[in-house]
Amino acid sequence: MSLPAQSVRSPAHGRSALRDALAAAAEDTVVYDLDGIGRQYSALCSELPGALVRFAMKACPVDEVLGHLARLGSGFDAASPQEIAQALRTGVAPELIHYGNTVKSDRDIVRAHRLGVRDFATDSPQDVAAIAAHAPGARVFCRIATSGAGALWGLSRKFGCAPEDVPSVLGAARDAGLVPSGLSVHVGSQQMTAGAWAEAFDTLAASLEALNRRGIVPDRINLGGGLPALGVLDRRGRPLDPPLDGMFTVIRAGMERLRGLNAAPPAFLIEPGRHLVADHGAIRAHVARLTSRHRLDGTREDWLYLSCGKFNGLYEMDQLQYRLEFPTHPAGPFTDAVVAGPTCDSDDAYAPEGPVRVPRAISSGEPVWVHSCGAYAAAYATAGFNGFTPLPYTCVGGAAPVGGGA
Ligand SMILES: Cc1ncc(COP(=O)(O)O)c(C=O)c1O
């Protein structure tokens, strides 16, 4: 199957600071385009007026990226005391950081509280009791489970309680001297349907009504992450093409509905991870080798091995395809090959049913640009699996906006 090398909705065409940096790199590196990330942040703020952004820093815990977002006014969703400390180093006030992980030890809570964080996610009475003991008086928001349907990664099992548990979890928080301050959902990462948000708003509405009946009036609704990257391809190499405009329409309508339904209009938070950074990061990798061999069934298969893969930059390569560009061979001729990373591990490969069009004449050492891998790429790199250490990174752009930051 021959496939387009690039999606039209991505920033891969034409000249850009990102492409210039990829072209200038003589060695493998991850490049982040801070201005692109800034534009994405501003576009999101204009699409969802009234929603406060708390960047899910797990998607890209790179100091320069966090600093740039902080200057633009973003806060942070942190998953550990270590992330809280990193977020604070950007200079944001602790009030702009929440501890969004429902999984935390007593020690984690103590440390987060000492660092000044007062907003904690929760989903169980046990976690509520621990927060009350180690962060007395803190504000808690209850994460409600969603089905995760429609997402490439549904986060449904590990996080969130059933809607019917919400009143008892937040009731226990109130009884323990905490502030039952809010609700949160996450529709699943790389969510592909607007309907998932419609469902989440139905759940939020029903929970708000149940809480209001018990005299609990949350002041914040956290809409979580899940907004998609636009430039990645599915496992077969087809553009994913998520209905982003439809998602924003549903989210705006949902916010309006909840404002009218709660006893006092709540504030809204949103925790985008991949949507802000995925399409504004790319890797300059190189070709390890293009090979051709027969499979056991007698068919011939070409393989393109890259210098980076699942364990050093392309963690999500088993669920999707990153678009590849071969700057030294733009015009082919091409062959269809399975793309794989450099390790001795068979998971380190694109799905076999989605061969990629690669230049027949490409040789070991030639550059390959891997697009739309600014999210969960560097962050998931192993410390040295098979000896492959994490890639260095470079940031381009990011001059402080005129007039200063937040
Ligand atoms: C609590 C929380 N918020 C936000 C996110 C970001 O999700 P995404 O990258 O899909 O926007 C995650 C991702 O795992 C998360 O766990």
Domain-by-domain residue ranges, the chain?
Answer: 35-278, 279-396
**Does the pLDDT of residue 127 top 80, yes or no?**
yes
* Residue tagged 């390790």 (tokens): 343
pTM metric for this prediction: 0.94
**Does the pLDDT of residue 253 top 50, yes or no?**
yes
From the CA of 280, how far away is ligand 1's center (Å)? Answer: 17
Largest CA-CA distance found in the chain, in angstroms, rounded: 70
CA distances from 327 to 47, 259, 365, 381 (A): 35, 50, 12, 25
**Does the pLDDT of residue 19 top 60, yes or no?**
yes
Calculate mean pLDDT across residues 56-69.
98
- Fold classification of 279-396 is Lyase, Ornithine Decarboxylase; Chain A, domain 1 (2.40.37)
**Does the pLDDT of residue 265 top 50, yes or no?**
yes
Minimum mean pLDDT range among 20-24, 241-245, 294-298, 376-380 = 376-380
From the CA of 58, how far away is ligand 1's center (Å)? Answer: 8
CATH code, 35-278: 3.20.20.10
pLDDT at 15: 74
pLDDT at 11: 46
77 pocket-lining for ligand 1 (C-beta < 6 Å): yes
Q: What is the pLDDT of residues 347-361, one digit of tens each?
A: 999 988 889 999 999
List own/partner pairs for 345-351 with CB under 8 A and 24 or more apart: 345/310, 345/311, 345/385, 345/386, 347/310, 347/318, 348/309, 348/310, 348/311, 348/317, 349/309, 349/310, 349/317, 349/318, 350/235, 350/317, 350/318, 350/321, 351/235, 351/236, 351/318, 351/321
pLDDT band at 6 (very low <50, low <70, confident <90, very high): very low
275 pocket-lining for ligand 1 (C-beta < 6 Å): yes
**Does the pLDDT of residue 38 top 50, yes or no?**
yes
pLDDT at 377: 86
**Does the pLDDT of residue 3 top 70, yes or no?**
no
Calculate mean pLDDT across residues 19-44.
97
Q: Is residue 142 among the annotated active site residues?
A: no
**Does the pLDDT of residue 296 top 80, yes or no?**
yes
Exposed/middle/buried for residue 220 (C-beta within 10 Å: 0-12, 13-18, 19+) = middle
pLDDT band at 1 (very low <50, low <70, confident <90, very high): very low
**Does the pLDDT of residue 401 top 60, yes or no?**
no
From the CA of 296, how far away is ligand 1's center (Å)? Answer: 41
Catalytic residue among 45, 60, 344, 395: 344
pLDDT at 332: 83
With a pLDDT cut of 70, the percent of the chain lying above it is 95
pLDDT at 10: 43
**Does the pLDDT of residue 194 top 90, yes or no?**
yes
- CA-wise closest residue to 180 among 148, 138, 150, 213: 138
Atom of ligand 1 nearest to the CA of 143: 1
The answer for residues whose C-beta is within 8 angstroms of residue 15's C-beta and 6 or more apart is none
21 pocket-lining for ligand 1 (C-beta < 6 Å): no
Cis peptide leading into residue 333 (ω within 30°)? yes
pLDDT band at 400 (very low <50, low <70, confident <90, very high): low
pLDDT at 13: 53
**What is the pLDDT of the chain when averaged over all its residues?**
93
186 pocket-lining for ligand 1 (C-beta < 6 Å): yes
**Does the pLDDT of residue 14 top 80, yes or no?**
no
